[in-house]
Amino acid sequence: MPKGILYDFIKKSWNCHELWYNERMKYPKIDLKTVRLQARQFQAENPRLFLVYLLPSILVILSGFLNPLERINESILEQSFLSVLSHVFQAYLFPLLVSFIGTILLTSSVYTTLRLIKNPDTELSVKNSLTLFNEVHFSQTFLTLLLKRFYLFLWSIPNLFGVYLLFYSSAMARKFVELHPEFPSVDVTNPDIEHFLLTFALYFFGSVLVMILGTIIYLPQYYAYSQVELLLCDTLAIGIAKPSRVLHTSRFLMKGYKFQRFVLDLQLLPWYILIWISFGIASISTFPFIYSSQIFFYQRLLEIKRKKV
C-alpha cells in the first residue's frame, strides 16, 4: 500500500475511533445488571412494598376480562371508514379509561417508592396507590399523564392504521369463508374469487408493512417519554411544573439512552410474560421489582445528566 494511501487510511481510522470514543463519553453506559441487583435488594429489604402496588395489580387482573373486540362484528365492513373508526373508538373507550386510571394508580405507587428510597421510614400500605388522587396533586398528575397519552397517540397513528387494515382483512377473510363453505377447495380461476384474493393480500401485507413502519416510528417516542411519571413524582415532591415542561425534560434525559432503556425492558421481559400467562396475578409480586428497576435506572440517568450540566 502506497505511503499516502496508508496515511489517509490510518487518519480516517483514528478519526472514526475518536468520534466513537467521544460519543461513548458523551453518553456513558448504565450498568443494567447493577440496576436490577439494586431493585432486587431494595425489594428484599422492603417486603411490604407489594402493598403499594396491590391496587394496580388488582386492576390489571380485572382488565384482563375486558375484550373490546367482542363488541365489533363483521357488519362494520359494510360501513364507511369513519363509521368503522367510530365503532372501534366506542369499543375501546371504557378499556382506555380503565387503563388511564391504572396509570395514575401506578404513578402513585412509584411516587411512594421514590419517597421510600429517600426516607426508609415511609409507611407502606394499600392506600399509597391513591396518593395522587388527592386535590393537591391530582390536577397536575391528570394533565401531565393525559398530555403524554395524547402525544403518544399521535405518534401511534400509523401503527393504529396498520391494526385497522389487519382487522379489516381478517373480517374479510371470515366473511369469505362463510360465503364459501368449500374453502380452501375453491376455484381460484373464478374472476370474483381472484379479485377477492388479490384484495385480501393487498390489505393483509399492507397492514403488516404499515405496522412495522409504525412501530419503528413509535418506539423511540415511547422511550423518549418513558421518564415522565418519574419526573412527575419528583416534581410533585418539590413543587409544580407545567406538564409540557415535564415531557420536554423526559426527552432531554432520554437522549442517548433510549436503547439502554429498551434493553432494560427486554431483560424484564420474562416478568412481563409471567404476568401475562398468570392473567395478571403475578403482578402482585413482580410490579415492585419491575418499577424499582425503572426507578434505579432513572436515578442513574439523573446522575449522569447532572454531571454533564
Q: Is the pLDDT of residue 23 over 70?
A: no
- 160 touches 198 (CB < 8 A): no
- List the beta strands (DSSP E) in the chain: none
**At 9, is the pLDDT very low, low, confident or very high (cuts 50, 70, 90)?**
very low
Instruction: Determine the pLDDT at residue 90.
Output: 64
pLDDT for 88 equals: 62
Task: Reply yes or no on whether the pLDDT at 189 is more than 80.
Answer: no
CA 251, 253, 255, 259 dihedral sign is negative
Helix (H) or strand (E) holding 96: helix 81-118
Residue 63 confidence (pLDDT) above 60: yes
Q: In angstroms, rounded to a whole number, what is the distance separating the alpha carbons of residues 108 and 229?
A: 9
128 pLDDT exceeds 70?
yes
Confidence (pLDDT) at 64: 76
According to DSSP, residue 1 is labeled -
Handedness of CA 6, 12, 14, 17 (dihedral sign): negative
CA distance 109 to 127: 9
Q: What's residue 91's pLDDT?
A: 60
CA atoms within 13 A on the CB side of 163: 11
Contacts of 117 (CB under 8 A, 6+ apart): 42, 295, 299
Cell of 99: 387503563
Residues 212, 227: contact at Cβ < 8 Å? no
| pLDDT at site 95 | 74
Name which of 19-23, 210-214, 281-285 the model is least confident about: 19-23
Helix (H) or strand (E) holding 234: helix 228-238
Local confidence band at 79 (pLDDT 50, 70, 90 cut-offs): low
Give φ, ψ of 86 to 5 degrees. -65, -45
**Going by C-beta distance under 8 Å and a sequence separation of 6 or more, which residues neighbour residue 223?**
254, 258, 261, 262
pLDDT score for 262: 96
Choose the most confident range, by mean pLDDT, from 95-109, 173-187, 253-267: 253-267
Residue that has been written with the C-alpha cell 431494595 in this structure: 42
Q: What pLDDT is attached to residue 11?
A: 46
Least confident of 57-61, 153-157, 180-184: 180-184
Q: How far apart are CA 6 and CA 11, in angstroms?
A: 9
pLDDT at 24 over 50: yes
Q: Are 147 and 244 in contact (CB under 8 A)?
A: yes
Of 158-162, 221-225, 260-264, 276-280, least confident by mean pLDDT is 158-162
Q: What is the pLDDT of residue 151?
A: 96
Q: What is the mean pLDDT of the chain?
A: 83
